[in-house]
A and B are shown apart, each in its own frame.
Chain A
Amino acid sequence: MSQDEHKHVVSYKTYTIILINLLILTAISVAVTEIELGPLTVFMAVFLASVKSALVLIYFMHLKFDNAMYKIMVGLVLVVFVIVMVITFLDYNFR
Chain B
Amino acid sequence: MEPNYLEYKGKYKGIFAWIFSTDHKRIGLLYLYAVGAFFCVGALLGLLMKLELIAPDKTIMEAQVYNSVFTLHGITMIFLVVIPGLPAVFGNFLLPIMIGAKDVAFPKLNLLSWWVYVFGALLALSSQFMGSGPPDTGWTFYAPYSFQTQSNVLPAVMGAFVLGFSSILTGLNFIVTMHRMRAPGMGWFRMPLFPWTLYATAWIQLLATPIVGITLLMIVAERTLGIGFFDPAKGGDPILYQHLFWIYSHPAVYIMILPAMGAISEILPTFSKKPIFGYKALVFSSLAIALVGYFVWGHHMFTAGMSGTALYAFSFLTFLVAIPSAIKVFNWVSTLYKASIDMQTPFYWATSFIFVFMIGGFSGLVLGALATNVHVHDTAFVVAHFHFIVFGGVGYAFFGAIHYWFPKIWGRMYDVKWANFGWLTFFIGYLALYGPMFYLGLVGMPRRYFDYLPEYHGPNILSSLGAIVMIGGLAIIITNLIISSRRGETAKANPWGGSTLEWTVPSPPPLENFEEIPVVDKNPYEYK
A83 with B295: CB separation less than 8 A: yes
Chain B binder among A23-31, A43-51, A55-63, A85-93: A85-93
For B243, list chain A residues within 8 Å (CB). 88, 91
A94 with B291: CB separation less than 8 A: no
Assembled-state Cα–Cα distance A94/B294 (Å): 21
B307 with A83: CB separation less than 8 A: no
CB proximity to B under 8 Å, residues A53-95:
77, 80, 83-84, 87-88, 90-95
For B291, list chain A residues within 8 Å (CB). 80
Assembled-state Cα–Cα distance A84/B310 (Å): 12
For B224, list chain A residues within 8 Å (CB). none
Name which residue of chain B comes closest to A92, CB basis.
B307
Query: CB of B313 within 8 A of chain A?
Result: yes
For A94, list chain B residues within 8 Å (CB). 307-310
Query: CB of B416 within 8 A of chain A?
Result: no
Assembled-state Cα–Cα distance A83/B298 (Å): 13
Name which residue of chain A comes closest to B310, CB basis.
A91
Known: A77-B207, A87-B313. A95 touches B307 (CB 8 A): yes
B295 with A90: CB separation less than 8 A: no
- A/B pair count, beta carbons within 8 Å: 36
A91 with B294: CB separation less than 8 A: no
Assembled-state Cα–Cα distance A88/B313 (Å): 10
Q: B298: which of A77, A80, A87, A95 is its contact (CB, 8 Å)?
A: A87
Q: A84: which of B295, B307, B308, B314 is its contact (CB, 8 Å)?
A: B295
Expressed in whole angstroms, the minimum distance between the Cβ of B176 and any Cβ of chain A is 12
Query: CB of B37 within 8 A of chain A?
Result: no
A80 with B207: CB separation less than 8 A: yes
Report the interface size class on chain A.
10 to 19
Assembled-state Cα–Cα distance A90/B307 (Å): 7
B309 with A80: CB separation less than 8 A: no
Name which residue of chain B comes closest to A89, CB basis.
B310
Expressed in whole angstroms, the minimum distance between the Cβ of B525 and any Cβ of chain A is 28
For A93, list chain B residues within 8 Å (CB). 307
Assembled-state Cα–Cα distance A80/B210 (Å): 14
Expressed in whole angstroms, the minimum distance between the Cβ of B174 and any Cβ of chain A is 15
B306 with A91: CB separation less than 8 A: yes
B294 with A90: CB separation less than 8 A: no
Name which residue of chain A comes closest to B308, CB basis.
A94
Expressed in whole angstroms, the minimum distance between the Cβ of B15 and any Cβ of chain A is 39
Expressed in whole angstroms, the minimum distance between the Cβ of A94 and any Cβ of chain B is 4
CB proximity to A under 8 Å, residues B235-279:
239, 243, 247
For A87, list chain B residues within 8 Å (CB). 295, 298, 310, 313-314, 317
Assembled-state Cα–Cα distance A84/B248 (Å): 11
Q: B313: which of A77, A80, A84, A90 is its contact (CB, 8 Å)?
A: A90
Assembled-state Cα–Cα distance A84/B296 (Å): 9
Name which residue of chain B comes closest to A79, CB basis.
B291
Assembled-state Cα–Cα distance A90/B306 (Å): 9
For B309, list chain A residues within 8 Å (CB). 90-91, 94
Expressed in whole angstroms, the minimum distance between the Cβ of B475 and any Cβ of chain A is 43
For B294, list chain A residues within 8 Å (CB). 80, 83-84
28 contacting pairs across A/B (C-beta < 8 A): A77-B207, A80-B207, A80-B294, A83-B294, A83-B295, A84-B247, A84-B294, A87-B295, A87-B298, A87-B313, A87-B314, A88-B243, A88-B247, A90-B307, A90-B309, A90-B310, A90-B313, A91-B239, A91-B243, A91-B298, A91-B306, A91-B309, A91-B310, A92-B307, A94-B307, A94-B308, A94-B309, A94-B310
Apart from A83-B295, A87-B298, A91-B298, list 8 A-B contacts with CB within 8 A.
A77-B207, A80-B294, A87-B317, A90-B309, A91-B306, A93-B307, A94-B308, A95-B307
Q: Which B residues have a C-beta under 8 Å from some C-beta of A? A: 207, 239, 243, 247, 291, 294-295, 298, 306-310, 313-314, 317
Q: Which 9 residue pairs across A and B have the least CB separation, nearest first?
A: A94-B307, A91-B310, A94-B309, A90-B310, A95-B307, A91-B306, A91-B307, A90-B309, A90-B313
